[in-house]
Structure 1
């Protein structure tokens, strides 16, 4: 009752503690800190992919150390040697395109998680042996549709991953440039969603899962570039001091530079 003795309307707990996971509890200090941490992470990833793009274009020094020319990169990343990885990155890039157009934040992030899980399975199992669709589609006959329906349970088709049979040789560097651009667009869209402080917990959890998948691409490429840069620095030091290689003994023998571009 109030001060006049009149009954008061009880406060509903649900108005302060919603049960709908897409409409979370008002942000606490810890959740706000988590959102800010994610924003910083997203900014860092965009900067890293943009940097790798410039480095592999021969336009920027690798973390302010060595500038690798476009000609050197084309020799190092031979298209024939990089055939398998080129197909994997091409498949990932073309599959990310349709997901960018998804407007609902939750649908967008869940589709992205699903795609990256499918891509990981595609990469771990020899993707070259997976069933792929023709690059140029043709109209399907009734017989084709019936055969597809009958064999749908036996095929390894993916829901979000679009695997194509490429009728020409892919240029690894061009594929990597395009993939970096698309991934940056993905992170930019994630950043826009994070600007909304009512971003649900499920969304933030999915961002961490997605980032762990994209980080594997960064780790692979930076590991290769580290080896290339170390070898380049070693050669430069050898020019300055011809006795350097003798003084250093075999300290560089552990660097497996011969397998730098192994797909």
Structure 2
């Protein structure tokens, strides 16, 4: 079977389980070939379909996310190793990096804090964006921290990235120019389907309203934010008002940044007079 035919058949087979069936088939076939997707598409006339492709397709049909099958996920300007111990980085979360670039302009944050770092996606993307910065990633999961440390080493930024086990910012001292936060924000009884069901529950759910972790994090931010700094906080599509209130109650100034779909995806919090 040719590469082109395998991709056509694969896309049809995966349509019932994926909204990106063609892309999934391409990524899985490239992984089976041991090359990247771009090279596979350019060289497809000279390549043959390896036997391993069928097994990868079976795993995808069983509901396993592509990122876990191939072990990698691109995010911002970097490529990350991911495992079932971490949330799969999503393009929506890149809105936090965009918000930080807008805030700092031609300047660079010197110190970066990533609360709930997971794979290290946000912190490592920020360190790649600002080569002079140093960062700290905190997570409650030792397994997630192991993934993040490995990613920092592979990306060559381990000397500028520290990772610690912790419960949000409990016991943490110091101030940071940039704080990045993508906490769990899905309501416990939300009706979820698809790939997300395979991801770590602790990185997804946050009580009956999806607000439990925001309630814990908001009071920590005034003491952690440096003068002139900002926190970029990811939110669910319907949480702008509720999370904004939690932050404003701590004396923070808040505005929203929208993702490519037009949803308020990131809240930008800065120190206000009441937080000083």
How high is the TM-score relative to the length of structure 2?
0.24
Task: Tell which structure's C-alpha radius of gyration is larger.
Answer: 1
Using CA pairs under 8 Å that are at least 6 residues apart, name the structure with larger relative contact order, 1 or 2: 1
How high is the TM-score relative to the length of structure 1?
0.25
Q: Whose helix fraction is larger, Structure 1's or Structure 2's? A: 1
